[in-house]
Amino acid sequence: MTKYLTILAAMVLFVACNSGSSVKSDIDTPGDDINSDNDLINTEETTGSMDNEYLNPDNNESTDDEETTDLAENEVSDSTDDDVQTDNDIAISPWVSQWLEITTGDGHTCGIKTNNRLYCWGNNDAGQLGDWTTNEKRIPTKIGDDPWIKISAGSGYDYSGYTQRSHTCGIKQDNKLYCWGGNDYGQLGGGTTDDKRIPTKIGDETWVNISAGYYYTCGIKQDKKLYCWGSNYCGQLGDGTTEDKYTPTKIGDEAWAHITTGLNHTCGVKQDHKLYCWGGNYYGQIGDGTTDDKLTPTKIGEDTWSDISAGGHYTIGLKTDDKLYYWGNIWSEQSGYETGLLTPIKIGDDAWTNITAGYRSICGTKPDNKLYCWGYGPLGNGTYDTQSSPTKIGNAMWIKLAAGGSHICAIRTNNSLYCWGDNYYGQLGDGTTDDKFVPTPIAEP
C-alpha cells in the first residue's frame, strides 16, 4: 500500500506559494486524485538539514517570553523498547559501521563513509545517484573513487511522466562543488537544463556548505557568501525576483554560517547567529508573523540560533540555548499543535543537539544522544502510527539524522547506518523494497 502512497505523496509536491498557484502554471495536475490535508503523503526533506560544524555558537540565552505550547507540560512518549531494534539485536558488520554523513531525498539516499567515499542508492530516474545510469539501486552503490566531505539529496516531480526527477549536490575534499540528476529548472547550476548522470563540477570556486531542495539549490562558498540557483517561483532563491536561475547567484554580501532548503522556502543563519528566512510563506513557514511571500532574506527576531531545518511547509530550529522551536504548517497533527503557526513556538523545555525536518516527519536527538521522532510514520517505533509529540525510538545513541520525503536514515555513535520508512525505490539500502518500521541496518554490497 505504501508504494502507492509514495506516488501519491510525490504528486502532492505540486506546491503553492502565497497565491495558491502551482510551480508552473502550464503543468497539469491530477487534482481530482489528490486528497486533502489529512491524506498520508510523503515528499522531500529536506530536504534535510545540513550539520552545523561551521557554527561556533556562543552561549547567549534567548528570551524565554515566547509562547510555549502544551507539549512543554507533556511527558515525552516512549515507544516500547521490545518493539524497537537495539544495538544488541544484530551483529554489526564493519561495512555497516563506517559512515560519516547521510542525506535523504524523496526516493533516494546518499552517504559518505569514514574513508570519505560516496555511495548512493534508491530511485535513479533522472540520474540522481550519479552512477552513469538511470537504474534504481537497492543497496549502497559507490560513486567513483574521489573523497567527499558534504552531500545533499534534493527533490522534484515531473507530473507529465509521474517521475521524481530529483537531484543531488556534494562537495569533494578539495571543496569543489558537484551536482547531478534532474535539471528541469537549472538546479544543477551548470548554466543549462540538461540532466547529468554523473557528478558534474560547478565552476572552480570552493564551497563549505550545500543544501538541495525542491528543484533548487543553495550553498555557502568558502568566503561565507551565500549563493542560490534553480527554481524560484516563490522567491526561494532570495535574490529579490521570482525568475529561475541556472547558475549560482549571489544573495547579498553578508557572511553566512548555515543554510537549509525546503519545499519552497529557505532559511539560513548568518555568522552573527541571527536567523533569516525567505520564499513561500502561505503557511507561515518563514516565521515573520505574516503569510506574505518574501523575495529576500527576512530577519526572524533578535534571538540567536545554532541550527535550522526547513521541512515541507514548516521549519524547525535550535536556538543557542539548545531549545527547539517550530513554525509553519505540517498538514494537521504532525507538529502536535495547531497548523499555520506564524512565529517560532517553543517545543517543551528540553535541550536538543541535532534536528532534521522531513516533509511530514521530525527527528532529533537530546544531549544523551537518544533519538526521538514524531509526525507521520513510519517513525521507527514499530508502527505506522502518527505521533503528535516527540517519541523515543529505542535506546541506541545517534549522531547524524536525515529525514526525507517518506523515509529516515541515521548514523549511530559507532558510525553504523540505519534506515527505515517507505522503501518503494530501495531507498533504505537493505537490498529489498519492503517498508521498514524500525531502524534497519543497510545491506553490504
Alpha carbon dihedral 82, 84, 87, 88, in 10-degree steps, equals: 30
Of the candidate ranges 112-121, 150-159, 271-280, the one whose mean pLDDT is the lowest:
150-159
For cell 518563514, name the residue.
286
Prediction pTM value: 0.82
- Local confidence band at 83 (pLDDT 50, 70, 90 cut-offs): very low
Would you say residue 164 has pLDDT above 90?
Answer: no
DSSP string, 171-231: EETTSEEEEEE--TTSTT-SSS---EEEEEEEEEEEEEEEEE-BSEEEEEETTS-EEEEE-
Would you say residue 58 has pLDDT above 90?
Answer: no
Collapsing DSSP to helix, strand or coil, 87 comes out as helix
Q: What is the pLDDT of residue 67?
A: 37
Would you say residue 76 has pLDDT above 90?
Answer: no
* Average pLDDT estimate for 129-147: 97
Q: Which amino acid is at 299?
A: K
Q: How far apart are CA 237 and CA 252, in angstroms?
A: 11
Give which of 285, 247, 249, 289 is closest to 264, Cα–Cα: 285
* Average pLDDT estimate for 391-418: 97
Q: Which residue has the higher pLDDT, 407 or 2?
A: 407
Q: What value does the mean pLDDT of the chain take? A: 82
- Local confidence band at 55 (pLDDT 50, 70, 90 cut-offs): very low
Of the candidate ranges 13-27, 132-146, 198-212, 374-388, the one whose mean pLDDT is the lowest:
13-27
Region of residue 116 (phi > 0: left; psi between -120 and 50: alpha; otherwise: beta): left
* 210 and 50 Cβ atoms separated by less than 8 Å: yes
**Percent of the chain clearing pLDDT 70 (strictly above):** 75
pLDDT tens column, 279-314? 999 999 999 999 999 999 999 999 999 999 999 999
* Average pLDDT estimate for 365-374: 98
For 2-441, which CATH class? mainly beta
- Local confidence band at 231 (pLDDT 50, 70, 90 cut-offs): very high
Residues 6+ apart with CB under 8 A from 19: none
Q: What is the pLDDT of residue 11?
A: 40
Nearest 5°: CA angle at 70, between 68 and 71? Answer: 90
Q: What is the pLDDT of residue 107?
A: 95
Q: How far apart are CA 221 and CA 178, in angstroms?
A: 13
Beta pairing class for 216-221 and 226-230: antiparallel
Give which of 179, 271, 275 is closest to 229, Cα–Cα: 179
Enumerate the domain spans of the chain: 2-441
Would you say residue 335 has pLDDT above 60?
Answer: no
Per-residue cell: 435: 517498508
Collapsing DSSP to helix, strand or coil, 263 comes out as coil
Of the candidate ranges 59-63, 117-121, 295-299, 356-360, the one whose mean pLDDT is the lowest:
59-63
- Local confidence band at 162 (pLDDT 50, 70, 90 cut-offs): low
Residues 6+ apart with CB under 8 A from 110: 102, 103, 118, 119, 120, 121, 129, 143, 151, 153, 168, 170
pLDDT tens column, 90-126? 456 766 779 999 999 999 999 999 999 999 999 999 9
DSSP string, 392-424: EEEEEEEEEEEE-SSEEEEEETTS-EEEEE--T
Q: What is the pLDDT of residue 52?
A: 34
Of the candidate ranges 44-58, 89-103, 208-222, 415-429, the one whose mean pLDDT is the lowest:
44-58
